[in-house]
Structure formats: C-alpha cells, structure tokens
Structure 1
Amino acid sequence: MRKTAAALITLGLAALALAGCSAGPSFAGQACSSKATSSVLTNSVTVKGEFGKAPEVSFATPTKVQKSSVDDLITGTGSAITEKNQPIVIDVALYDAKTGQSLGSTSFDGSTQVADINTWDGQLKTIGDALGCATAGSRLLVGFPAGTVAEGGAVAVVDVQKVFLPHAEGSLVYNDALGLPTVVRAPDGRPGIIIPDAKKPAKQVTQTLIRGTGAKVTKDDVLRVQLTSVDWDTRKVLKSTWDAQSVAISATGLEGQTVGSQVLLVIPPADANQSTGADGNGTQAIVVDILGVDTSASLSSGQ
C-alpha cells in the first residue's frame, strides 16, 4: 500500500524519542561582523588542503590561545547559520594547542550527520560562538582557551559543509478553506496551531501555507523538517521537533512541494493507521516546515 504523508510524519515525530532536548536562544539580531578574530592564531597555525577534505595542520608549538576566537580561512557563499537549533553539517578536526597533537576529528568524507549548534556545544564547549553567522562553504580556524577543551587550550579546523533553512521561508499562500486550523508563527518561525470549532475532516487534508523558493521535492528525497502536531479534540500539542532537533522523513506524500515551504496536514485516525501502526486515537493537525533535502540521512525500509 502506498504510504501517506501521515505515515511518514508520524514516523518522524516518533524519532524525537531518540533526540535530546536542544532548543536554545538564537543568533537573531547578532551582527555578523562582530565575530571575534585572532590574527595571532593564524600566525601560529598553518592549514593546508581542500575544503571538505581532512586538513593538513602544522603548529608553532606551544600555541597559546588567550581567548575564544575564530578566523575565516575560506569564506563560503552559502546560507548563514542564524539560529542555534538550525540544522547544519560540519566537519571538525581538533588539536591540542600546547602539543599540536590531534584530539580527534570527524570523517571529512560526506558521512557526518546533521546536528545543530546546541548539540555541538554539548560536545565541544563554546564552538557555537564561532559558528554564529558562518556560511556554508566556509573553513574556520577556531581557538579554545585553556581549560575549555584541553588543559593548554585547543585549536579546531571547522568546515561548514551544509546549512539548512532555520524555518519555512517563502511567500504566504492564500487559502480560503473554511473549518481548517489557523497557523500563527513566532518570530523564530515556530508555528502555533489554532483548531477551529468545526467538524473534523473525514479525509486527509493537505494545504500549503508558505511556498518556498527552493528545489521541488521528489518522491525519492529524504527531507530535513521541523514538525508540530496538535490533537484536534484536546487542542494539546502532541509532539514538536522545535523543542528537540529537526528530523529526517521520506518525501512520500510531500512530492511537488518546494524546499522552504510550510505545509499543514490534517490527519484522520484512519489515514494515520494505514501504514504506521499508530494508535489513531484522534485526528491530528500537523505543520511541516521543509528545511532542505538531507543527503546524509538514510531511512529504514519501514519508512
């Protein structure tokens, strides 16, 4: 049986159980020119190699890092990181500033998974300060003062491989369908769903609220999305990726939409049951923000 958008979105919401809460403040209003820089660090550390490949790094040791710093070794022309819960893909090579020894790195082979600044800050303290306003395609040289990552300080080379949209972006679409939920949005794009005093739809409804200007979604795409689900009867929020991390879902059921779009789906219990095994106890209103195509994600055959 062909899977519906309801099935795939329910599966995406279920994936939240695997993600820790990482919501946090945004960079909204931050002047990108205010990022700390350190010409001293670039005088002590030499980085060679192509963007996206493991860097070749040499040190004048010991290198002293007096304070957190960041230098743009390569300035990318892609989208900027503007929110701390915005999905990104970065590769990191970390070194002890005192000895120049490697402290570990990601693979630099295209297999690094999507995360966000909140997640990275939990693993590599204060890296988020360097990533704010960084653009896709950039290579950064980041300095960590003594005691934050290593006793004598640390240096990281960071390649910003991909930056997804922080939320739906595009043109508002006029919809005159009566009896459907109304969606309002906070400044950071987080949607609120207002359920009307009206009869519930008997069949699944799909309504485009914002039409993005990105690539058209195909049936084989894996999408990186933000989701909010509300129970029609109780008006309670059932799940929200905005309080955790964005998730990857199959594009089946969302074919023809464009990246950047926001879509409202009203899912009756029967449709939710078709291929998910969900309990189908009530009708759900789900708002999906399509942030981009996630080429690094893989979904199980059950999705």
Structure 2
Amino acid sequence: MLRIPAVIAVLGLSALTLAACASSPSSAASTSCERTDSDASVLDFAQASGDFGKPAVTLKAPVYVDSTTYTDTEVGTGRQITSDAQDVVFSIAIANGATGQSLVQAAPPVQPLSSWNSSYQGLVTAMMCATEGTRVVAAIPASELSAAGAQDLGVTDDQSIAVTIDITKVYLAAADGTPQYNDRRGMPSVVLAPGGRPGVIVPDAAAPTELAVEVLKKGDGETIGQGDTARVQYTGVNWSTRKVTDSTWENGASVAVAPGSKLAFAPQLVGATVGSQLLVVVPAGASGAGGDAATVYVVDVLGIDDPAATN
C-alpha cells in the first residue's frame, strides 16, 4: 500500500502549480539523447524492490553524494525522454539517505518534466534520456532540491535522498508526424517555433461556413478511439480578430481531451494518430465554438492517457 504523507502536496500539487503558471516549457526541442549510468555504485547502498509502478527503496548503508547519481536496473523499450517539455508519468519511492527512513511512495499525475526542475532538479537529472518502462535508482543531494523541497522532505543541507523511479508513461513534446500536403484554398497557415509551438496566419478571406479539418502532420503512433482520452497541446485563434483565444502552450501544460469534451475540436480527434497535428476550423455558432466568429484550432496529439491519468 502506498504511504501518502503531507509531502505529497509538494510532489504533486506544487509541481502542478508550477506547470500551470509557466509561460511555456523550458526546452521543447527534442534532441539526440544517449542514456548512460552516471555511477552504478549507487546500487552498493540503495536497493529497489516492488512491482514495476509500485516501487520501494531501502538502504544497505547511509548515502551521501555531492551530485545526483543514478543507474537503471530495468531498461524500458518505450518512448525516450529527450526534452523536459515532455509530459511524464512516474511512480517514486524516496528514503532519507542518512537514516533510511521511508519518506514518500507516490504516483504524481501527468505533467511536464520541466515542472519538477525548480524544486527537484535531481529528479529531472535522473530521468533525462531514460525510456518509458525504465526503473531508475538514484541518490540526490539536498543541494539539488529547493530549500522548500528539502524542508518538506525533512532533509538537512548535509543529507541526501535515495529514490527509486519507475517511468510508466512518456508523451511527445509536440507533434512529430510526417508533413502532409493540403490544397484547400482559403485555409489558415501554420508556422512552428523550434520547439513545436504553432503560430497561426489567418487569411484575408471569409471563414468557412462548415467545419473544415486538415491533417498537417500524420503521426505513426496509436489511433485515438471513441473511448480514448487524448493528451494534446492546442492553440485557438479567433478568425475575425486574429487573436489567440486559448492556448495550452501559453498556459504551460497539456490537457486531456475525451471525444465528448466541450472543446469544439474534440470529436475530430477520433481516428487521429499519436504524433499528428490537426488544423480545425470551427464555424461561428457551431457547438463548442465561442463568440460570433469562426475559431481556428491547431492541435498536437501527444499521446493517449491511461484510464487512471488525470489533468
């Protein structure tokens, strides 16, 4: 059974707050990433146990490190973390490195890896370049935790923590599918920043009077089914004013969208593949559309949430 102490408010809720307040992910561009153990000797003092997804960590001896040290005891074959802008789901067990006391066993909700950086820099270091399905054993000094994070864990300046991390889900940072040719006249154009954040150029023409959908990028991932909940980034732009009406990129966090969602583009996700980018123009007055003008949506399909995942 997972022990959920008050520090979970730090590991879950505070990280969510950081994600919601961030103007954008800190490093959205994916790069080539080679995963190598920083020091396998971490296994000399820390031992991982438990089924994957429900990790535990126990100490064989006290541990003190000057910088984050980690090794992978299981290597997954899923998607790799190549950017701290990627949403990651993991389970974690934390013990005090000096006393061996179990501090936390938890499974934080879906959030970008960057949301942990300001309070738990060592966790980001230990997970970067790992793949979905990997179990990481690490030791992290108090110097790579924020003062508040260390205090909430009860770790003093001269102590370290030992952790086991099971990386259960890794999402794309942005749509990475193959660009598609579209020749429908009068449709908006989309330009992308290096990290994948879209900008929309609305043409000087009348908006479509019927729903219009284009696949800008075709992903090679799983297909979104009627009962699935997609994890997406999106931007909405008012056709008449050319102003952004809503943007997860600006809000700093992706969202989970089910086909029955009130978001006007939600039904168009059914049949889309992970890695795809959709351009959806919703005419004025349509269900889910806002105001008296058409809305342009650019939607990146980043993955499919597990049933237990939350925003």
Query: Contact conserved, 2:139 with 2:161, CA < 8 A, in 1?
Result: yes
Q: Which residue of 2 aligns with 1:23?
A: 25
Q: Which residue of 1 aligns with 2:99?
A: 99
* Aligned-pair CA distance for 1:123: 4.8
Q: Which residue of 1 aligns with 2:6?
A: none
Give identity over the alignment, percent.
35
Cα distance in 1 between the residues matched to 2:96 and 2:224: 43
Q: Which residue of 1 aligns with 2:38?
A: 37
Give yes or no for the alignment of 1:233 onto 2:240. Answer: yes
- 2:140 pairs with one of 136, 140, 144: 144
Q: Which has the higher contact order (CA 8 A, sep 6+)?
A: 1
Deviations 1:22-78 (A, max 9, x none): 521247446424x561233221112223322232x3213321122112211111111
- 1:217 pairs with one of 213, 224, 229: 224
Deviations 1:79-119 (A, max 9, x none): 00112121111111111100111111215xxxx52111122
Cα distance in 2 between the residues matched to 1:30 and 1:255: 31
Question: Would the alpha carbon gap of residues 298 and 37 (structure 1) be closer, same or farther in structure 2, given more than 3 Å must change?
Answer: closer
What is the CA RMSD across the aligned residues, in angstroms?
A: 2.2
Q: Which residue of 1 aligns with 2:72?
A: 72
Give yes or no for the alignment of 1:292 onto 2:288. Answer: no
Question: Would the alpha carbon gap of residues 280 and 26 (structure 1) be closer, same or farther in structure 2, given more than 3 Å must change?
Answer: closer
Q: Which residue of 2 aligns with 1:157?
A: 164
Question: Would the alpha carbon gap of residues 279 and 230 (structure 1) be closer, same or farther in structure 2, given more than 3 Å must change?
Answer: closer
Cα distance in 2 between the residues matched to 1:54 and 1:167: 29
* Aligned-pair CA distance for 1:135: 0.3
Give yes or no for the alignment of 1:245 onto 2:245. Answer: no
5+ long unaligned stretches in structure 2: 1-16, 260-266
Cα distance in 1 between the residues matched to 2:42 and 2:271: 48
Question: Would the alpha carbon gap of residues 30 and 213 (structure 1) be closer, same or farther in structure 2, given more than 3 Å must change?
Answer: closer
Q: Residue type matched to 1:294 in 2?
A: D
Cα distance in 2 between the residues matched to 1:32 and 1:146: 26
Aligned residue runs from structure 1 range 79-118, under 5 A? 79-107=79-107, 112-118=108-114
Provide the secondary structure at the position in 2 that maps to 1:158.
strand
Question: Would the alpha carbon gap of residues 145 and 281 (structure 1) be closer, same or farther in structure 2, given more than 3 Å must change?
Answer: same
Cα distance in 1 between the residues matched to 2:49 and 2:122: 24
Cα distance in 2 between the residues matched to 1:258 and 1:76: 22
Deviations 1:111-136 (A, max 9, x none): x5211112233453431122211100
Cα distance in 2 between the residues matched to 1:52 and 1:213: 27
